Amino acid sequence: MKKKILLVEDDLLACRAYQKLFEKAGFEVDLALDGEEGLTKSHNGYDCILLDIALPKMDGWQVLEKLKNHDGTCHMPVVVCTVLDGDEHKKKAQELGADGFVNKFNDDLLAETLKILQAS
């Protein structure tokens, strides 16, 4: 059975690129284009959530905090996937319960996600 990933990303071009990457690797990918939609869809049950930070309607920090404080979603691995870089952002992601932190342009999102899924 395919692992299900929720990609919460407002950049449609990035969404399509990541969707193709993960589908080619054998994953089922669902998309959410803003924070509120991502939070709503998260209750459908996913093996992993890939979460951007700079999102409309509700930013990724708010989404992450709500996910990790809700009984129905707190167990789901969340990888923060953002252009924000620096130790302060990584630290904040860890403090809010993220399982991984990936810079969109410098890190391997697929490899980090696979590592987290294997550990969970």
Please report whether residue 115 resides in a domain: no
CATH (domain of 32): 3.40.50.2300
In a domain, 54, yes or no: yes
Q: Kindly state the average pLDDT of the residues 98-108.
A: 81
**Given this model, what pLDDT does residue 119 score?**
67
Domain that holds residue 13: 4-107
Q: Is residue 52 part of a domain?
A: yes
Q: What is the pLDDT of residues 24-42, one digit of tens each?
A: 989 999 999 999 999 999 9
Residue 99 has pLDDT above 90, yes or no: yes
Q: How far is CA 55 from CA 9, 37, 39, 94, 104, in A?
A: 7, 10, 12, 19, 14
User: Residue 112: is its pLDDT beyond 80?
Assistant: no
Tell me whether residue 120 is in a domain. Answer: no
Q: Is residue 116 part of a domain?
A: no
| pTM for this prediction | 0.89
pLDDT band at residue 68 under the 50/70/90 scheme: very high
Question: How many domains are there within the chain?
Answer: 1
